[in-house]
Amino acid sequence: MNTIASGSTAVEIAESIEQQIRSGFYPDGALLPAVRSLAQQLQVSPNTVAAAYKLLRDAALIVTDGRRGTRVASEMLPAETQTTIPEGLRDMASGNIDGATLPAIEAGWLTEGQSGYDVQSNDPQLLDVAGRWLAEQRIPCQQLGIYSGALDAVERALRLRCRPGNKVIVEDPCWPPALALLASLRLKAVPVPVDEEGAMVPSTEILRSAAAVILTPRAHNPTGFCISSRRWTQWVDRLADAPDTLLILDDHWGPLSAAEPLNFSREPLSWVYVVSVSKFLGPDLRVSVVTGTPSVLKSMHHQQTLGPRWVSLLLQRLAGRLWQKMLDSSRLSAVGAEYLQRRSALVQGLNDLGIAVPTQGEGLHVWLPVSDETSVVQTLASLGWAIQAGSPFRLESPAAVRISIGNLNPISVPALARDVAHALKQRRRTVN
């Protein structure tokens, strides 16, 4: 392929090729010239072209695949995160919450005091109720920001610190939308395993090489595990040696959690803490409250003012009022206890049938290691249960399936446990 690349240094050559890629001269998947060929055309050393290609690879713009050559990286489309449940199957796959746990909406007050366009304020009641909850959790909250859900807040934090090609440490298995977000930002996911104490701590070298870390402190999706106090201390200790790495904590289950909050008597050097309301107020109520290092929050707020500028005040008012209503009626603790009972009953039922599942954890999901995801999913579907294959969640972790308990009727727990045990034994017989 002819080239219009130009330049005499690695940086100049890389910039010219990047311009060609972004202009469409080199479409997705296009084969780039071989190093020696391009070096001859530009009359530079092959080492110079090789260095230019490395810059482009680090920016996730090109990929090199051995003898197949160097090609333009295909744009990674967001993963499909919506689960389609076949008609007639009981939904243990989608991870939806139980609608009966949500507060009733009284809409008459919503539009009171609306001031028209360009409303850029945050709702005082939402700030107050979120601030009080954070204070009860002993999480520093000198400054608060409000965003359009957890993913919006995480994306803004990543955009603040990351450039294409940067590494971001994530849990493995991991929430698929987070992986899709990293792909869309052309960031490299670096997986760390998850055990009963939460995400395992990587070496200082790996931490320093990453621009950010995304962790789930409680009810990790899909395993349900929480970060233990011992593991959290290890993270804080190790992050002290990586001052340029931003820690992002996505506490999606926080207000429903029975687990101990993280100890912030020693603060990480650079961090944000995201609390969303969708799990306990409504899945379509995309509002999150963020605290963290004041300088980081200030930069995130400035970034926000350059985009949509604010989160709908109607949504903020609704979130603040419903959150307070749940607190006044003690519904938050009751709802959290209800989900925990469902999850614990299923885990105990599986253990009683010889299926070893850790008893630690909370939230909406049980993560079950299997030898073959497809066969277990299909067998359970034949028995009337829809569960989720683990492949969308996994980077390097072994095969597993996710069973969600949001729609699980407690009466059905014994039947589900028996059918899961049957599906696993059926697979073993097939393999043998």
> Domains of the chain (ranges plus CATH)?
10-72 (1.10.10.10), 90-97+331-431 (3.90.1150.10), 119-328 (3.40.640.10)
Question: Which amino acid is it at 1?
Answer: M
Q: Which helix (H) or strand (E) holds 156?
A: helix 150-161
Per-residue tokens: 252:
């999606």
Q: Specify the 3-state DSSP secondary structure of 28.
A: coil
Per-residue pLDDT, averaged over 376-398, amounts to 92
pLDDT of residue 91: 81
pTM of the model: 0.81
Chain length of the chain: 432
Average of per-residue pLDDT across 343-361 = 94
Give pLDDT, residue 112.
Answer: 60
- Give 380's contacts (C-beta < 8 A, 6+ positions apart): 386, 387, 419, 420, 423
- The residue type found at 355 is I
Q: What is the structure's pLDDT at 175?
A: 93
**For 291-301, what is the mean pLDDT?**
92
pLDDT over 70 at 432, yes or no:
no
How many CB atoms within 10 Å of residue 196? 14
The answer to whether the beta carbons of residues 208 and 346 sit under 8 Å apart is no
Per-residue confidence (pLDDT) for residue 284, from 0 to 100: 83
The pLDDT tens digits of the residues spanning 38-89 come to 888 889 998 998 888 888 887 778 888 777 788 888 764 444 455 667 777 8
Q: What is the pLDDT of residue 186?
A: 85
* Better-predicted residue by pLDDT, 218 or 142: 218
Q: How confident is the model at residue 117 (pLDDT cuts 50, 70, 90)?
A: very low
Spatial CA neighbour of 280 closest among 361, 216, 364: 364
Please check the confidence at residue 364 and state whether its pLDDT lies above 90: yes
Q: What is the pLDDT of residue 329?
A: 87
Instruction: Give me the mean pLDDT over the 304-332 stretch.
Output: 84
Q: What is the structure's pLDDT at 79?
A: 45
Q: What is the pLDDT of residue 1?
A: 46
Mean pLDDT, range 249-273, rounded to an integer: 94
d(CA 208, CA 180): 23
Tokens of 380: 């359970």
- What is the spatial distance between Cα 318 and Cα 334, in angstroms, rounded to a whole number? 21
In this predicted structure, what is the pLDDT of residue 354?
93
In 10 A of CB 25, how many CB atoms? 15
pLDDT at 261 (0 to 100) = 94
